[in-house]
Amino acid sequence: MKRLLLVTAAVAGLAASLPAAAQFQKPEDAVKYRQSAMYVMANHFGRIGAMVNGRAPYDAAAAAANAEIVATMSKLPFIGFVEGTAGTQKGSAAAKIWTNRSGFDADAKTMQDAVAKLVAASKTNSLDNLKGAFGDVGKACKGCHDEFRNP
């Protein structure tokens, strides 16, 4: 548990230090960056989902490893949501992200908080705990996508 707290503290530190360095050479780079970070996050979240949904055997160590990666990734995409990238080719970010940035940021934090609980649940060696925390992260994903992602 001590290790978990220290890792979480380190990740929080990363996020705090990132905005100052949040630069992209062109809008497309920011779109590709956030989509890449989301894709990696979704992949590792999906590996936990396979266990939760019975498509893969429950493996507590793998669940915990994947949850930690999800936690790291959960901090990253948001530096890619820079102004001017709403209508960028291939992007599906809704323009309202930039007219309601505080709402968007709040949704991001809701997700990150749910992911932190997923990390904790993944260390308890309980599939039931994992299922509950996984569902809460899924709800947080969907809540933000419904509001801030174009179909």
Binding positions for a copy of itself, rule: CB under 8 A = 3, 6-7, 9-10, 13-14, 16-18, 20-21, 23, 29, 32-33, 35-37, 39-40, 43, 47, 50, 56, 59, 61-62, 64-66, 68-69, 72, 76
Give the nearer residue to a copy of itself in terms of CB position, either 84 or 95. Answer: 84
* Nearest CB to a copy of itself, comparing residues 70 and 111: 70
C-beta separation of 37 from 73 below 8 A:
yes
Q: How far is the CB of 13 from a copy of itself (least distance, A)?
A: 7
Nearer to a copy of itself, 15 or 103 (CB): 15
* Least separation in angstroms between CB 99 and a copy of itself: 27
How far apart are alpha carbons 121 and 137 in whole angstroms? Answer: 12
Rounded CA gap, 109 and 2, in Å?
23
Q: What is the dihedral of CA 51, 57, 59, 65, to 10 degrees?
A: -50
What does the alpha-carbon distance between residue 55 and residue 34 come to, in Å, rounded to a whole number?
A: 28
